[in-house]
Amino acid sequence: MIADCARQYDPDFAGLPERPSFTYLESMPLQNADEKFMRAALVEAEKGLGTTSPNPAVGAVLIWRNRILARGHHRRAGGDHAEIDCLRKLADPIPAAAVLYVTLEPCSTRGRTAPCANYIIQRGVRRVVIGAVDPNPKHQGRAIGLLRAGGIDVRTGVLEDACTRLNEAFNKWIVTGEPFVIAKCGMSLDGYLTRPAGETRWLTSESSRRHAHQLRALVDAIIVGAETIRRDNPHLTVRKGPRRTQPWRVILTKSDRLPRNATVFRDSERNRTLVYRSRSLRAVLRDLGRREITSVLIEGGGDVLSQALDQRLIDKVQVYIAPIFTGGGVLAFGGNGAASTQRSLRLHSPRYQRIGPDVCITGYPKKAKEFTGE
């Protein structure tokens, strides 16, 4: 549906690369011209997911007479930002009636690149439509002021929720210094992660595991406990996706009893494996944030997931439930539990998806809503 909408604005649109699509884009109603073209900019922004960290994924399109003249997106930290990528595809002069749509407020200070706001002014753009305002308190609204001072008509807040949700990890990290935490697991109907001893470790279907694996391509780090390394000897790598580098593999252990022959210590990505000994999960997350790791995926085991739940460190959950009762084994979320039902962690607007025989539940704990645009 996104591709069909993009072709509506641009007959030369060649199609999107194969990658997961975002349901909140699929379901948004089209109401006016600004929303239509911001939607096209969101399509561009999606192309940068998984490759831009610690920068946000941003898209831009330049419109003239209801036609896309140029499009651009941010590809990697240190590379051209979306606005620059878009505008450099056109020679001067830019038509006076052209409108630049960008999913995030342009940068206003020099970092790895020159400020985009200045370039927009220099190129003679006369109208700019912005999806979300920069969440960084140091820069918030600054570029908007610069653009208006340069004589540019600026509109903000177009499809703001969708533009904000696209960069939920960056938004939290830039404000708090800590990465966005996704808790992911596959469990039985009675809440266990494991089958009886001696049987295959998989509870969920192959289609669910493929679906879950896509998350690895979008995060900066994967966290597991020592027992997961001992029991499963996982690779914790991305086999398909847009990433140029593998996510960091983070192992939490209370001792030094980790198998030296584990895959994560011997494969070609062994230099991207971090081991934290006797550190609290909160302390680990703070250290990862200092390393410019903006998002982490907790894949297990039950002890790490329980710590995250008890300490209210989870920003998003993605749980796959298989239609099976196992009894015994390792609980997905054990820990201390909530003191009362009122104090239980509740998900905001959970989404339910059937994947093969399994059900995937995705949602945001209510405390995380300020980072997701809810």
Q: Which of 134, 135, 158 is nearest to 146 (CA)?
A: 134
- Cα–Cα distances in angstroms (integers) from residue 337 to residues 307, 331, 366, in the given order: 10, 12, 17
φ, ψ at 78 (rounded to 5°)? 95, -15
Please give the structure tokens belonging to residue 21: 């699509």
The answer to whether 331 and 319 have CB atoms below 8 angstroms apart is: no
Distance between CA atoms of 61 and 87, rounded to whole angstroms?
9
The answer to whether 199 and 332 have CB atoms below 8 angstroms apart is: no
Catalytic residue among 44, 46, 83, 168: 83
Compute CA 335 distance to the chain's CA centroid, rounded to the nearest angstrom: 27
Sign of CA dihedral 304, 289, 179, 296: negative
Maximum distance among all Cα pairs of the chain, rounded to whole angstroms = 71
Q: Which of 96, 98, 91, 100 is nearest to 44 (CA)?
A: 100
How is the beta sheet containing 358-365 ordered, strand by strand? Answer: 273-277, 248-253, 221-225, 295-300, 180-187, 316-321, 358-365, 347-355
The answer to whether 368 and 315 have CB atoms below 8 angstroms apart is: yes
Residue 83 annotated to the active site: yes
| 309 Cβ contact partners less than 8 Å away, ≥ 6 residues apart | 183, 333, 335, 345
| 92 Cβ contact partners less than 8 Å away, ≥ 6 residues apart | 123, 124
φ, ψ at 226 (rounded to 5°)? -60, -35
The answer to whether 171 and 165 have CB atoms below 8 angstroms apart is: no
**Residues taking part in catalysis:** 83
